[in-house]
């Protein structure tokens, strides 16, 4: 896997036109793009099909969670879109349903453990007794048992997750911030080099690239830091 395949640029922008502009600006630098809820609801699913037809890789960050049949139907439909990755919340029944629905396809299912914008106080408010690291570990183990293809976690937990799930599962880490960058609403962050050294296979970077004055230069700088790691 090359470095540019390990960088996933989050297209967290206002609309498809802005996303297409970012993709053009990053041509030859980045080839893997994340489409989340905001963009999906404004034409992002059609953009995903366009990107895959153009040879780009797409990560659909849909964070599916529903009754088993609904999750299975959603995963089966997405498996036919030729995207590379799809997120589900790491609830055991949902994961098992998703894994069965994706069987035989090239879709990598990722288990979302604990959002990088949440800390221990946020989890307590949501009714969880576990600290973030403990809940991440519990959900990572359940994802491995369910047969998921990878884990989404903060880079700060990547080393522990890698020890838990072994060498084969993908570890995708959002909340990546180059040294000196504004953390924004993220609470558990690492630099690109730190995340790779901790065991991450893929880094999701959105605002530090898409909100930069020069997205191409920002992405090039991040790839250089990743290469150094």
Bridge partners of residue 205, in order along the sequence: 9
CA dist., res. 213 & res. 151, Å (int): 31
Nearest C-alpha neighbor of 105 from the set 71, 83, 79: 79
CA dist., res. 7 & res. 28, Å (int): 13
Tokens of 32: 């893997």
Distances (CA, A) of 41 to 26, 35, 121, 195, 216: 23, 10, 31, 30, 26
Q: What does DSSP assign to residue 176?
A: B
What φ, ψ does residue 188 adopt, rounded to 5°? -125, 95
Check the annotation: does 6 bind a ligand. no
Check the annotation: does 93 bind a ligand. no
Check the annotation: does 8 bind a ligand. no
- Within 10 A of 5 (CB to CB), how many other CB atoms are there? 14
Check the annotation: does 207 bind a ligand. yes
Check the annotation: does 12 bind a ligand. yes
Strand locations in the chain, DSSP E? 7-10, 32-35, 57-64, 85-89, 108-112, 150-152, 170-173, 202-205
Check the annotation: does 160 bind a ligand. no
Check the annotation: does 190 bind a ligand. no
Check the annotation: does 34 bind a ligand. yes
Helix H or strand E segment including 12: none
**Which residues form the catalytic set?**
63
Check the annotation: does 142 bind a ligand. no
Q: If DSSP codes are grouped into helix, strand and coil, which group holds residue 52? A: helix
Check the annotation: does 63 bind a ligand. yes
Check the annotation: does 77 bind a ligand. no
Check the annotation: does 107 bind a ligand. no
Check the annotation: does 70 bind a ligand. yes
Give the residue numbers of the binding site for substrate: 12, 34, 61-70, 116, 177, 186, 207
């Amino acid at each position: 896997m090359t470095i540019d395949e390990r960088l996933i640029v989050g297209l967290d922008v206002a609309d498809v036109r802005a996303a297409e502009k970012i993709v053009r600006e990053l041509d030859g630098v980045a080839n893997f793009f994340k489409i989340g809820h905001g963009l999906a609801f404004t034409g992002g699913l059609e953009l995903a099909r366009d990107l895959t037809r153009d040879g780009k890789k797409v990560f659909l960050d849909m964070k599916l969670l529903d009754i088993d049949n609904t999750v299975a139907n959603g995963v089966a439909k997405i498996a036919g879109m030729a995207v590379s990755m799809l997120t589900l919340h790491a609830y055991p029944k949902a994961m098992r349903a998703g894994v069965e629905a994706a069987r035989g396809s090239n879709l990598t299912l990722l288990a979302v453990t604990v959002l990088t914008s949440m800390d221990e106080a946020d989890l307590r408010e949501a009714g969880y007794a576990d600290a973030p690291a403990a809940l991440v570990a519990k959900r990572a183990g359940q994802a491995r048992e369910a047969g998921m293809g990878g884990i989404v976690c903060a880079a700060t937990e990547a080393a522990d997750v890698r020890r838990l799930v072994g060498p084969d599962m993908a570890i995708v880490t959002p909340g990546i911030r180059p040294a000196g960058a504004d953390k924004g609403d993220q609470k558990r962050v690492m630099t690109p080099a730190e995340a790779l050294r901790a065991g991450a296979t893929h880094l999701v970077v959105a605002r530090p690239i898409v909100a930069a004055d020069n997205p191409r230069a920002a992405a090039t700088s991040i790839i250089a830091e990743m290469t150094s790691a």
